[in-house]
Every structure is written in C-alpha cells, then in structure tokens.
Amino acid sequence: MQRKILVRLLLVLVIAFTSFSCAKETPQDKQAKLDRKQDVKDYVTHHLLDSHDFGLYSYTDDAGEVHHVGFPLPIILWDNGLKVFSSSKFHHGETVAEVDGNYYKIDHAKIYKTDAAGTINYDDKDHATNDKPLDISITKGVFMMLLTSLLMILLFMGLAKSYAKNGGIAKGAGRFFEPIVLYIRDDIAIANIGEQKYKKYMPFLLTVFFFIWFLNMFGLTPLGVNVTGNIAITTALAIIVFLITTFTGTKDYWKHVFDPLGDGMPWAGKILIYIILVPIEILGLFIKPFALLIRLYANMTAGHVVLGSLLGLIYIFQNWIGGTLSFGLAFAISLIEILVALLQAYIFTMLAALYFGFASETHEHAEEHDGEVAHL
C-alpha cells in the first residue's frame, strides 16, 4: 500500500514539474528546445553512417569552435587513376581536398568531385548530382572489421596453441570461448546439418558467429561504431550464406526445389500444382538470405537509434528529472543490447546452419527424418 502511494506521489511530482517547466517556457526556450532536438536527430543520423575518419569524440570550446579527437584513415579513390591520400585533408568533412588538380568533398559520408569552392549540386529529391569516383577507402567500418578479424586470428591461434601445449585443454581466455565453440558444433552445426557433413561448414559458422558478435559488442562501446547496422555489411554476409548454400546443394536439394512433390504422382497431375509451387520454391532461395540481412540490420540499427535518442533526451530536457529518467532508461536498454548483440549472432548462425542443412540433405536423410517424425 505504501509503495503504491509513493509511486503515485512520484508521478504527481513528475507531472507537476513538467507542467511547471512548460508553463515557464518562453518562445526563445521553445526554439532552443527545437534546435536541440534537431541536433540530437543529426547526431543519431551521423552515428548510423560510416565515415572516412575514426572519431572518438568531439567537444566545443568557449569560443564555439568544435574540436574532433580521433585519427584519419586512408582515402583510396579511382578517378582516371589511383588517388591515395589521408582523410585529414577533408578536416572531418568541413573542407575540400585537392589531389592532383582534382577537388573532392564529403557529403553525407560519400565523396563527390567538385570545384575549389566545394560546390555540391542537388536534384529535386535532395540527392547530390556531382560525379562520384570509385571509393575503395578504408572507412571506419572497414577498419573495425579488419581489427575484429585480427583479434579473432590472435584469439583462436592462441586457443589452438593452448590445445597443443596442454594436451587438448584450453588455457586462459580459451576457457571462456571453448564452451561456445562446442555449443556451436553440437547444438547448431550437428543438430541442423548432421554428423556426416557438418565439418565442412564449421569454419564458416564459427567465423560468422564470432565476427558478428564481436562487431555488435564493439558497437556498444564509446568507440561509436555501427558496422552491423550497415546494410552493405549484412548484405555481404547474407550473399556468402546464399553462395555456400547454392554451391554445396545436393542433387536431392535441387530436386526438392524443382520437383517438390517427388515421384509419387504422375507429371500430368502435378503440372498445375508446379506452376505455383516451383516459383515459390525458387523465390524462397532468395527470400532466405534477404531475411538474414534484414533481421540483423534492422535489429542492430533500431538498438542504436533507441540508445542515441534516449541519451539525446538528457541534452533536450536539461533538468535533473528528465536527465535521470533518460539515463536510467538508456542504461537499462544498454544491458538489453548486450544480450541482443549475442542473440543476433546466434540467430544468424543458427539460420545459416539450417539453410546448410537443407542444402546438404540427401534422400536417405530425408526418409530417416520423415520416419522419425512419423514415429513421434
């Protein structure tokens, strides 16, 4: 009873404080709040985009000048020849870079050719119409993928060496990762692919699980990276799964795609059904990887947007009640995002193993599976 009274009293105080604050707002205060909301929106949008330099944080001095703390990355362009230079020439996208008589400018994380004044032309849909050179630069996302790859190589080389030195017993950090590796082998690979064919898929399943997991965890650090929230990255991972599924598919797998009803029915009776079934089966080949890329991209992007918005509320409210509530919610969501980072890596790996299991299924395995289902 007392707890209910305290909760109601707290709600009344929050509502009263909010009403009092709104009542005292002047037109200038309202405009300032709108400006702060736009700043938060721009900040969250900028966080979701890739960048050509690695920014750790920024601050504004007393004179109003913005200072960026981080380090530049190499810009690699193909524009009538190879152009290689440092991203520091762009000064965090604020200036024009001159290279071999050509001028380049960054607009919305993309590099365009321009003039010495940095002119960017837009169409009626606010899309830049300037020419774009082929950009193969080492961006922040690429840098984090290279860093994650190096970390994985060192980690699992150390795990392999500890196995060799200690008679198959993991030491150090390997003791934490060994149960995860065994879980992926026993409960994901073998369970979905089978004991006879799971080994050829294990390198990819282990790699993609830890690759996604580590990148997701890096995205929750103050480094501000959002690699798995980039649809180009999730698309590339899904294409790899699609290619492996396609090129390792057995004869029975492809027979199921183009002859889903099997040999139990004459073709004269199946042809009308196949007009519907076969296109659906073929469409399913592309829907599966599409579901993989959208699920990972949407979940990670949504998490970053929610976290950024909640933290931005502290800047918008600028009072102890709004700031405390926003910080508390952001902290709670951060804990949930730690679980989501692992969960999304698990789901991607599980679905990939499931697709590989479909592709490697043989006629004997299918009959065995049908017999088990009938027995149950």
Express each pLDDT in 234-284 by its tens digit.
999 999 999 999 999 888 888 878 877 766 666 665 676 777 788 888 898
The SS3 call for residue 100 is coil
Interacting residues of 308 by C-beta distance below 8 A, sequence separation 6+: 40, 43, 44, 47
In the β-sheet with 97-99, what is the strand arrangement from edge to edge?
A: 97-99, 102-107, 110-114
**More confident site: 27 or 88:** 88
Interacting residues of 243 by C-beta distance below 8 A, sequence separation 6+: none
% pLDDT > 90, the chain: 29
Please check the confidence at residue 161 and state whether its pLDDT lies above 50. Answer: yes
Cα–Cα distance, 233 to 204 (Å, whole number): 16
Q: Would you tell me how many other CB atoms lie within 10 Å of the CB of residue 294? A: 14
Q: Averaging pLDDT over each range in 36-45, 49-58, 90-99, which range is the top one?
A: 90-99
Do residues 307 and 334 make contact, with C-beta atoms less than 8 angstroms apart? yes
Q: What angle do CA 340, 346, 349 make, to 5 degrees?
A: 140
Instruction: Give the closest residue to 208 by CA, choosing from 299, 298, 296, 303.
Output: 296
Comparing 11-20, 33-42, 55-64, which segment has the lowest mean pLDDT? 11-20
Burial, 80: exposed, middle or buried (Cβ in 10 Å; 0-12, 13-18, 19+)?
Answer: exposed
pLDDT given for residue 190 in this prediction? 94
Domain ranges of the chain: 52-138, 141-375
Looking at the DSSP bridge assignments, the partners of residue 113 are 104
**More confident site: 6 or 152:** 152
**More confident site: 184 or 43:** 184
Express each pLDDT in 314-364 by its tens digit.
777 777 777 788 888 888 888 999 999 999 999 999 999 999 999 887 755
Which pTM was predicted?
Answer: 0.82
Q: Averaging pLDDT over each range in 66-75, 180-189, 303-312, which range is the top one?
A: 180-189
Do residues 68 and 92 make contact, with C-beta atoms less than 8 angstroms apart? yes
Backbone angles phi, psi at 51, to 5 degrees: -145, 160
pLDDT given for residue 352 in this prediction? 95
Cα–Cα distance, 354 to 12 (Å, whole number): 52
Instruction: Give the closest residue to 75 by CA, choosing from 95, 104, 115, 46.
Output: 104
Instruction: Give the closest residue to 72 by CA, choosing from 106, 45, 103.
Output: 106
Cα–Cα distance, 202 to 345 (Å, whole number): 15
Please check the confidence at residue 156 and state whether its pLDDT lies above 70. Answer: yes
Cα–Cα distance, 88 to 92 (Å, whole number): 7
